[in-house]
């Protein structure tokens, strides 16, 4: 390693990222000068532009958690000379955010920088030929030689690989953050839930498959369903009250020496988060009156959070802020913000009462975990827009159905999008109590009318995919179903990873648009064995989705990623992300382009 490289490693990621942004621009300008002479350069130049765009996007993803202002973030990525790059705290925030992945990320950007340095040296050598006689001929010959030797294309392949790894590191961290936050929410609900309503015989939490992690917090959407006893005993099946629609913002806090039992105003003042100075009184969601389910709301909320404009402060939220800062007598407004939901007599009654009367999206209270070294504060907001959209849509609440009930209504794009959502769900929730390793499509539910088969209706239904759990239970750490011993599954059926194998079964069911038990095959000891038999026969309906879809289905069933068989290993999670999730994203884009 050269002295320059050692120095680069010593001073951190930020200066290397700046050099890469400059190098991409310089390389682009170099290639621009050659396009007047050699047409073949166009292909190489285009690929460099794509590589530069990919790096810019990945760079922006890495910067989002450490740069609070969205406008400043955009300008920094666009301008390597922006003053934001010179802030001493930027590198430290990178270290805090990436934690033990910091060195890996640093090595990746160093590789990208080195590839660009070599490319610039080669291009500079070609430019020097411009001063010699017979410039055009020599330039043409020199560049043809370079193309034949594939030097530039090898460099481009390297850039593509390292850009993928850079984006992969950020994606896997978001999945991991969601996984930890969702398990913390599960435990908090099970440990804290109370209900004094004697008509309620049970409760169920429905967690959206969509989650968004940014700025040091994770945003989750849940619905609480309260099952009521039939007062006339006309039916053994419990009636379901109108569901409680909630947004939950998970704030990760580092435990320190302060008394964690001491009441605090930090919920509206300045909670300790890695890179945010305060938590809003209302969640960062869109104010649009319409809603397309869990996913659309979450996407709007993410876009709103990235907006460079300052948030609007309503009269209601202003009252709450004033109440906190000046200790006024607005007790009701303060109760929304300061309520520790674990300390109230009836968690259920509190949510039901305020969700029916509170201003849309107001804060309902919080739960806090006290695990060292990292603890969580879960802030609950009334998802009034979701509730209102259900009522104005003509149905006070929609019934939840297993997604297996809508398989027959799926078209090609629906199939690919459902497969993509489920593959992401495995990486988000595989080790949590929301998700059993021995899962199937009936463990994932959706809201909507299963008899509606129009493209719009099915798309809306897919936006509401969710996992469910009943609570409270005696053991908050229990899994949905206890799977067989992994060694036994491997030796008897060749199942190397049960969660991934069941993902493969789900992909097969989605591709064939029917439950695996409906196939006319011999009875097999396990659904994974049945899936292998079906793939050997290769139903013609699978051909519509293409060879890539069939390939990733087999990969999941056999855990054939050449990265071991434990999802706790980052290399296997990375392989699943690139081979399955990214492949499905590419298929979705291609089909969308085709239909458009």
Does 461 reside within a domain?
yes
Residue 242 dihedral angles phi and psi, to the nearest 5°: -55, 130
Q: Which residue has the tokens 């996992």?
A: 467
* CB 283 within 8 Å of CB 364: no
Does 105 reside within a domain?
yes
Q: What is the Cα–Cα distance from 559 to 387, expressed in whole angstroms?
A: 41
Split at pLDDT 50, 70, 90, the class of 257 is very low
Q: How does the average pLDDT of the chain come out, rounded?
A: 73
What is the bridge-based pairing of β-strands 444-447 and 400-402?
antiparallel
> Helices (H) and strands (E) in the chain — how many of each?
22, 9
Q: At what angle do helices 102-128 and 13-34 cross, to 10 degrees?
A: 30
Does 187 reside within a domain?
no
Does 98 reside within a domain?
yes
If asked whether residues 118 and 17 sit together in one domain, one would say yes
Q: What is the Cα–Cα distance from 356 to 360, expressed in whole angstroms?
A: 9
If asked whether residues 286 and 349 sit together in one domain, one would say yes
**CATH number of the domain to which 517 belongs:** 1.10.510
| Highest mean pLDDT, choosing among 74-78, 218-222, 224-228 | 218-222
pLDDT the model gives residue 292:
40
pLDDT the model gives residue 276:
31
Does 448 reside within a domain?
yes
If asked whether residues 441 and 388 sit together in one domain, one would say no
Q: What is the Cα–Cα distance from 418 to 422, expressed in whole angstroms?
A: 6
If asked whether residues 508 and 418 sit together in one domain, one would say yes
Res. 438: pLDDT tops 70: yes
Q: What is the Cα–Cα distance from 354 to 352, expressed in whole angstroms?
A: 6
Q: How many CA atoms lie within 13 A of 383 on its CB side?
A: 27
Give the H/E segment covering residue 454.
none
Q: What is the 3-state secondary structure (H, E, C) of 413-445?
A: HHHHHHHHHHHHHHHHHCCCCCCCCCCCHHHEE
pLDDT the model gives residue 260:
37
If asked whether residues 279 and 300 sit together in one domain, one would say yes
Collapse the DSSP code of 57 into the 3-class scheme (helix H, G, I; strand E, B; otherwise coil) and give the result.
helix
pLDDT the model gives residue 102:
75
* DSSP line for 162-199: HHHHHHHHHHHHHHHHHHHHHHHHHHHHHHH-----TT
- Strand residues in 353-474 grouped as ranges (E): 363-368, 374-382, 400-402, 444-447, 466-471
Share of the chain above pLDDT 90, in %: 28
* CB 95 within 8 Å of CB 102: yes
Structure tokens at 157: 């392949």
Residue 556 dihedral angles phi and psi, to the nearest 5°: -65, -45
Q: Would you mind telling me the total number of residues written for the chain in this entry?
A: 596
Res. 289: pLDDT tops 70: no
Q: pLDDT (tens digit, 9 = 90+) per residue, 163-208?
A: 666 677 778 888 999 999 999 999 999 999 999 988 888 899 999 9
Rg (CA), the chain: 27
Collapse the DSSP code of 521 into the 3-class scheme (helix H, G, I; strand E, B; otherwise coil) and give the result.
coil
Res. 313: pLDDT tops 60: no
Give the chain's domain count. Answer: 3
Does 182 reside within a domain?
no
Q: What is the Cα–Cα distance from 303 to 466, expressed in whole angstroms?
A: 22
Top pLDDT among 110 and 297 is at: 110
Question: Which residues have CB under 8 Å from 59's CB, separation 6+?
Answer: 17, 21, 77, 166
CB atoms within 10 A of CB 111: 16
* CB 414 within 8 Å of CB 448: no
* CB 424 within 8 Å of CB 464: no
Structure tokens at 309: 């404009």
> What are the distances in angstroms from CA 469 to CA 183, 481, 492, 503, 508?
12, 12, 30, 20, 25
Res. 405: pLDDT tops 70: yes
Top pLDDT among 50 and 127 is at: 50
If asked whether residues 410 and 558 sit together in one domain, one would say yes
Q: What is the Cα–Cα distance from 468 to 480, expressed in whole angstroms?
A: 10
Q: What is the Cα–Cα distance from 596 to 594, expressed in whole angstroms?
A: 5
Q: pLDDT (tens digit, 9 = 90+) per residue, 320-373?
A: 333 333 333 333 443 444 688 999 999 999 988 877 665 556 888 999 887 766
Q: pLDDT (tens digit, 9 = 90+) per residue, 452-470?
A: 778 888 888 899 999 998 8
- Strand residues in 531-588 grouped as ranges (E): none
Q: Which of these, 471, 469, 499, 472, lies nearest to 483 by C-alpha position? A: 499
Q: Which of 120, 147, 177 is the last residue of a domain?
A: 177
Give the H/E segment covering residue 75.
helix 70-78
Dihedral over Cα of 497, 502, 507, 508: its sign: positive
The model carries a pTM of: 0.67
Q: Give me the domain span that covers residue 66.
A: 3-177
If asked whether residues 101 and 225 sit together in one domain, one would say no
Q: pLDDT (tens digit, 9 = 90+) per residue, 488-508?
A: 888 888 999 999 999 999 999
If asked whether residues 202 and 167 sit together in one domain, one would say no
Q: What is the Cα–Cα distance from 410 to 261, expressed in whole angstroms?
A: 51
If asked whether residues 25 and 153 sit together in one domain, one would say yes
If asked whether residues 233 and 96 sit together in one domain, one would say no
Question: Which residues have CB under 8 Å from 429's CB, separation 6+?
Answer: 178, 179, 182, 435, 467
Does 37 reside within a domain?
yes
Residue 14 dihedral angles phi and psi, to the nearest 5°: -55, -55
* CB 298 within 8 Å of CB 210: yes
Does 398 reside within a domain?
no
Q: What is the Cα–Cα distance from 305 to 286, expressed in whole angstroms?
A: 9
Asked which of 98-102, 167-171, 224-228, 548-552 is least confident by mean pLDDT, the reply is 98-102
- Average pLDDT of the residues in 125-134: 54
CB atoms within 10 A of CB 338: 19
Q: Which residue has the tokens 């590198």?
A: 91
If asked whether residues 173 and 204 sit together in one domain, one would say no
Give the H/E segment covering residue 140.
helix 135-148
Which residues partner with 469 through β-bridges?
205
Split at pLDDT 50, 70, 90, the class of 133 is low
Q: Which residue has the tokens 């079964």?
A: 505
If asked whether residues 544 and 508 sit together in one domain, one would say yes
Q: Which of these, 541, 553, 571, 536, lies nearest to 501 by C-alpha position? A: 553
């Amino acid at each position: 390693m050269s002295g320059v490289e050692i120095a680069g490693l010593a001073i951190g990621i930020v200066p290397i990222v700046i050099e890469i942004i400059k190098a991409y621009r310089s390389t682009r300008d170099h290639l621009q000068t050659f396009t007047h002479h050699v047409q073949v350069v166009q292909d190489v130049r285009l690929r460099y532009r794509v590589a530069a765009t990919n790096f810019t996007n990945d760079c922006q993803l890495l910067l989002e958690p450490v740069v609070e202002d969205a406008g400043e973030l955009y300008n920094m990525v666009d301008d390597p000379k922006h003053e934001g790059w010179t802030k001493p705290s930027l590198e430290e925030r990178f270290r805090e955010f990436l934690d033990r992945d910091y060195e890996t990320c640093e090595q990746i950007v160093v590789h990208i920088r080195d590839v660009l340095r070599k490319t610039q040296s080669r291009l500079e050598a070609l430019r020097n030929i411009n001063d010699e006689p017979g410039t055009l001929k020599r330039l043409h010959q020199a560049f043809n030689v370079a193309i034949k030797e594939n030097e530039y294309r090898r460099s481009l392949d390297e850039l593509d690989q390292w850009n993928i790894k850079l984006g992969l590191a950020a994606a896997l961290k978001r999945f991991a953050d969601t996984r930890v936050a969702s398990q913390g929410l599960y435990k908090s609900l099970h440990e804290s839930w109370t209900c004094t309503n004697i008509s309620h015989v049970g409760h169920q939490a429905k967690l959206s498959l969509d989650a968004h992690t940014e700025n040091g917090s994770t945003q989750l959407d849940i619905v609480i369903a309260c099952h009521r006893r039939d007062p006339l005993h006309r039916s053994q099946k419990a009636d379901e009250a109108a569901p409680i629609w909630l947004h939950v913002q998970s704030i990760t806090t580092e435990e320190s020496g302060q008394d964690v039992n001491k009441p605090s105003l930090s919920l509206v003042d300045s909670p300790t988060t890695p890179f945010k100075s305060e938590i809003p009184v209302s969640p960062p969601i869109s104010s649009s009156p319409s809603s397309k389910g869990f996913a659309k709301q979450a996407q709007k909320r993410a876009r709103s959070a990235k907006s460079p404009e300052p948030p609007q402060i309503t009269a209601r939220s202003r009252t709450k802020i004033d109440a906190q800062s000046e200790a006024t007598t607005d007790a009701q407004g303060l109760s929304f913000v300061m309520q520790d939901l674990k300390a109230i007599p009836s968690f259920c009654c509190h949510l039901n009462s305020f969700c029916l009367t509170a201003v849309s999206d107001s804060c309902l209270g919080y739960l806090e975990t006290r695990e060292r070294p990292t603890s969580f504060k879960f802030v609950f907001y009334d998802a009034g827009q979701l509730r209102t959209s259900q009522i104005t849509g003509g149905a006070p609440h929609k019934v939840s159905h297993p997604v297996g009930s809508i398989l027959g209504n799926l078209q090609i794009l629906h199939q690919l999008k459902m497969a993509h959502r489920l593959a992401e769900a495995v990486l988000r929730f595989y080790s949590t109590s929301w998700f059993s390793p021995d899962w199937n499509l009936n463990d994932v539910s959706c809201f909507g009318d299963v008899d509606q088969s129009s493209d719009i209706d099915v798309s809306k239904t897919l936006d509401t995919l969710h996992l469910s759990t009943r609570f409270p239970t005696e053991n908050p750490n229990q899994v949905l179903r206890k799977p067989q011993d992994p060694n036994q599954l491997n030796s008897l059926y060749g199942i190397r990873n049960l969660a991934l194998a069941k993902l493969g079964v789900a992909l097969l069911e989605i591709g064939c648009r029917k439950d695996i038990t409906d196939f006319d095959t011999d009875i097999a000891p396990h659904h994974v064995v049945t899936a292998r038999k079906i793939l050997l026969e290769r139903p013609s309906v699978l051909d519509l989705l293409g060879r890539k879809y069939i390939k990733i289905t087999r990969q999941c069933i056999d855990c054939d990623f050449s990265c071991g068989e434990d999802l706790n290993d980052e290399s296997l999670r990375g392989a699943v992300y690139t081979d399955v999730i990214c492949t499905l994203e590419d298929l979705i884009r291609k089909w969308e382009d085709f239909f458009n």
